[in-house]
Structure formats: C-alpha cells, structure tokens
Chains A and B, each alone.
Chain A
Amino acid sequence: METNRTLIAYYTVVRKDVVRMVRLWKQTFLPSMVTTVLYFIVFGSLIGSKLPPIHGVSYIMFIVPGLVMMQVIMNAYSNTSSALFMAKFQRNLEEMLVSPMPEWTIIGGYVTAGIVRGSITGVLVLGVGLFFTHLTLYSIPIIIAAFVLTCALFSLGGFLNAMFAESFDSISIIPTFVLTPMTFLGGVFYSIQQFPPFWQTVSLANPVLYMVNVFRYGFLGTSDVNIGLAFGVLLGLIALFLILILWLFKRGAGLKT
C-alpha cells in the first residue's frame, strides 16, 4: 500500500475511535474526573492536610502527578482494550482485516486513539487538581514525554489484552487485578523512601513506579528513581510490547482463525 494511502487508513482508524470516545464522553472522560475529585477531597484535603510534607512539598501537591498518571494509565489501557474487543466481538474488526492496510496501521491507529484518550483525561484531571492546589512546572518536555510514553505503553497493553480476550470478563480482569494494585503500589500516594530498604528494592520491580516518578519529576523536580532509568524502562517495555504484538498479529493470533 502506498504511503499516502496507508496514512489515510491510519487516520481513519484513529478518527473512528476518537469520534466514539467523544460521543461516549459520559463513559470515557467524566468518571475519571469524578473519581479524582473524590481522591483530592479525601486523600488530599481531609487526610493529606494532617500529613507532613514529602520531598519538601505538601502532600496534596505530591499526589497530584501520581493521580493524573493513575487515570492516564487506566484510560489509555481501557480505551484500547474495550475498542478492540468490541470490534472483535461485533466482528467489525474484519472491516480492517480484509483491507490492504498493514498490521502496524491497525495497531498504530488503536494505540494513537489510546494516547488521545489518555491525554485528554490527563489534562482534565490536571485541571481538576488545580482547584485543590497549585502546581510547579520543573520540566515541560519531561512531563510531555512521560505522558505520551505512558499512554503508548498502556495502550499497547490494552491491545495485547484484547487480542486474547474472549469475553468482557477478560478485559476487566487485568485492570482490576493487575493495574489497580500496580498503580496503588507504584508510589502514587507515597514516596518509597518512607519504606525500609528491602521494600524499596521490591518496589523497584513495579514499572508503574518509574512512570509516576518521572511524571512527578517533571512537576516537582524530585524523584525516587533515576530519570534516565525510568525513561529506559518505559522505552524498553514499549519496544517489547510492540514487537510482541506485531509478531502475534502477523501470525493471526487472537484476531484471525
């Protein structure tokens, strides 16, 4: 397929899913904002006001980047997993599979839509956070890079999940039993420096810790982990997921009979 035709095909995949998520804004964007308001009220204002500063900033200011990242991760993941699974379930994914567009166009289209959903959600949640506290900006390029790469990684994760999902349960198990514990234990609400050395080391095995910390670094200029290592983990996982998905897609795994 020629390059300009491939780009039109890619744009069509993205456009279709962005139109869907905007049309369903009550299901896609609103719940994250409501949940985050509750987090800010309970953990930020009520409980957080009684806690000592972490890394030299108030508790509520400390948790804002983590809460944004938590919603970004969940939204990027669930957007791709639900969109692809529904397309599989209703069999309209066949519309794309019979067309001449390359596999990467389909993967890239869904992942881009996941990035769009994660980004819109992130900006909205960040906006909500500004009603509760002010934020400093330490490095805008790091904020944007962490944001986009995290969206991309979890969109790919959602894609992989949907490839093998055979029921609606299959796409809710990972967010409930894997992503939620990983984000809660990924330094959203605390610094791992508050832990004994053993648990600090254990925490380093959680990839979400790196994403939350690199994003927080972009705002506050402090982090529990090395920023270079954090970007390395993000890029490494993206490359791993991408290679795995492309390989599986070419074999027709989960999508073709």
Chain B
Amino acid sequence: MVYFSTVTSTPAVAIKELHKVYKGGTEALRGATLDIPAGDFFALLGPNGAGKTTLISILAGLTVKTSGTAEIFGMSIDTNHSLAKSYLGLVPQEFNFNIFERVIDIVVNQAGYYGIPRAKALRDAEAILKELGLWEKRTEKAQKLSGGMKRRLMIARALIHHPRLLLLDEPTAGVDVELRRSMWKFLRKINAEGTTIILTTHYLEEAEQLCRTVAVINHGEIVVHEPMRALLTRHGDKDLEDIFMELIEQK
C-alpha cells in the first residue's frame, strides 16, 4: 500500500497558544505552542492528565478548544476544518468501534465517511487488513477479537483513507511485546512512506526507539520540544525515562 509522500515545508501540525478549559474549570491546555514538520515521527510525552489527549482530540475535532489556533498541513481547524480533517487519521486511546459490527464493515464504513466509494473502500480494506493480519477475521464481530487485534483494527480504520497525518494515542497500551514490536515495524514503514506520525505513549522506550522528535507536556504546557537525539545527547548517559522524570519533577 502506498501512502502519501509528504516532503513539504508546510508543517504537518502548527498550534499556537492553545488553551482548553473544560466545564467545571479544569484547565487542560495552557497556551501550548508547537510546530511538527511533515514526515516527522513525533513523540508527545507527559504524565497522566498533562493534556496529551486533549491536544490530540482538538486536532481530531472531538474537543472544542477554548482559544488559540491549530493548523493541519496549513489548513485551519476553524476555517478549513473539512480539509484539515481529511488529512488526519486517529487511533484513540480506548476502543471506540461498535463491537457488534463486523471487522470489514467497521473499516469500509470509515472509508465511506471520508467519501470513498464502496468498491474502492472494499479493495483498500482488503489491502490494509491483510497487512495488519486481520483479513482472516474480516467477517467476525469486533467483540470477538483479542485485545491486540482490536488495536490493529483501530489502526486499519485510521489508515483506510490514506491520511497524511496519523495521531496515535497510546496505541500499544496493554499489548504484548511481540505485537508491540510488529506494530513498531509497521509504523516505521508507513512513516518511511511519508505519513507523519504523532505518538503519545507511556512506554518511553517506545518513544526512544521510534521517534525523531520529542515534546514533553506538563500541566497543559509544552516544557520541552527538540530532536530526540539532541535531548539524549544533552543529558549524557541518561535514558529517556530518567530525563522525563527530571523534567516532570522540575516542573
């Protein structure tokens, strides 16, 4: 399967002074500002409740921001939201498909929401489900799948319209080592083919292995944003977990 080639000067994501205050007063984002270049494999790290999922949900159109701006490949999520959304695919933290639907229907319907004709959607679904090892399960109801298969189904669903930007919100949570490694391989492959990936994860080894750029968010603010190699080099012999803990404690 060929994905978009996205070598361009327009950043994949450009957010400025993003604020989000939920009903009840919880301030999830406090002026987050971030540019993520096209083609990057980007780690967005932070402790629980730091604002990672809120940021991703705003980009995906599931959460309404309080203020600030956000653009996806130059398209504002406010004024060009339809085009901006067409560029991205989302793999959320929790399973959010209809468990009573068949695997193939979940993927093909998702293609339909993006306006892809059914015949093409069926062909593309076959390709992506085969690539992710789910083709044999295509007629099974989603509730019958194992946890790992459900994770892969969410990735297949997010990729069915060939997005230029893939948002992965803790995609390997609760996944065994073998499957995690095979997912890493797959993600590296689609990134090499041009898909920009933003990954949030609590497995810092995963971020270290996969990502070229890292940002750390804490209490709704971006506290670090730099190339992974530069961050690791700057901290000498410390691994990412030690650096992360240091940054969080400093804050």
| A205 proximal to B (CB < 8 A) | no
Q: Judge whether B57 and A257 touch: CB under 8 Å.
A: yes
Flag A186-220 by CB within 8 Å of B: 1 or 0 each. 00000000000000000000000000000000000
With an 8 A cutoff between CB atoms, is B134 at the interface? no
Query: Is the Cβ of A11 less than 8 Å from the Cβ of B98?
Result: no
Residues of B within 8 A of A1 (CB): 82, 86, 115
Are B86 and A90 neighbours in the complex by a CB distance under 8 Å? Answer: no
A101-B113, A256-B62 known; A95+B96 contact, CB < 8 A: yes
A-B Cβ contacts below 8 A, count: 87
Does any Cβ of A come within 8 Å of B60's Cβ? yes
Residues of B within 8 Å of A102, CB to CB, are: 82
Interface residues of B in 215-231 (CB under 8 A from A): none
Q: Does B116 reach chain A (CB closer than 8 Å)?
A: yes
Q: Closest CB-CB distance, B176 to chain A, in whole Å? A: 24
A105 to chain B, nearest CB (A): 9
Cα of A12 to Cα of B22 in the assembled complex, Å: 32
Q: B61 interface residue, CB < 8 Å from A?
A: yes
Q: Is the CB of A99 within 8 A of B85?
A: yes
Asked whether any CB of chain B lies closer than 8 Å to the CB of A251, the reply is yes
Q: Which residue of A is nearest B95, CB measured?
A: A91
Known contacts A92-B97, A256-B64, A257-B22; A9 and B115 CB within 8 A of each other:
yes
- Residue of B with least CB distance to A101: B113
Q: B86 and A94: CB pair below 8 A?
A: no
Contact yes or no, B110 A99, CB < 8 A: yes
Complex interface: chain B residues within 8 A of A97 (CB): 60-62
B46 part of interface (Cβ distance < 8 Å): no
**Interface contact B112-A11, CB-CB below 8 Å:** yes
**B40: min CB distance to chain A, Å:** 21
- Judged by DSSP, the binding face of A is helix
Report A63-89 CB contacts with B as 1/0, cut-off 8 Å: 000000000000000000000001100
Flag A135-146 by CB within 8 Å of B: 1 or 0 each.
Answer: 000000000000
Residue of B nearest to A4 (CB): B115
Bound CA–CA A214/B195 (angstroms): 57
- Whole-angstrom distance between the Cβ of B175 and the nearest chain A Cβ: 20
User: B98 to A8, Cβ gap below 8 A?
Assistant: no
A91 near B61 (CB under 8 angstroms)?
A: no
Question: Could you tell me how many residues of chain B have their Cβ less than 8 Å away from some Cβ of chain A?
Answer: 31
Known A-B contacts A12-B113, A16-B109, A97-B62; the reply to A91 vs B96 at CB < 8 A is yes
Residue A5 lies at the interface, judged by CB distance under 8 Å to chain B: yes
The yes or no answer to B55 lying at the interface (CB within 8 A) is no
**List of A residues within 8 angstroms of B203 by Cβ:** none
Measured CA separation A27–B44 after assembly (Å): 45
The yes or no answer to B186 lying at the interface (CB within 8 A) is no
B99 neighbours in A (Cβ, 8 Å): 90
B64 in contact with A252 (CB, 8 Å)? yes
Which residue of A is nearest B97, CB measured? A92
Within 8 A of A (CB), among B76-122: 81-83, 85-86, 88, 90, 92, 94, 96-99, 105, 109-110, 112-118
Which 5 pairs of residues, A with B, have the shortest CB-CB distance?
A: A5-B115, A12-B112, A99-B113, A91-B96, A100-B82
Q: List 14 A-B contacts (CB under 8 A).
A: A1-B82, A8-B118, A9-B112, A16-B105, A87-B98, A90-B99, A91-B94, A95-B109, A97-B60, A100-B83, A100-B114, A101-B113, A252-B63, A257-B22
Interface on A for B, CB 8 Å cutoff? 1-2, 4-9, 11-13, 15-16, 86-87, 90-92, 94-102, 251-252, 256-257
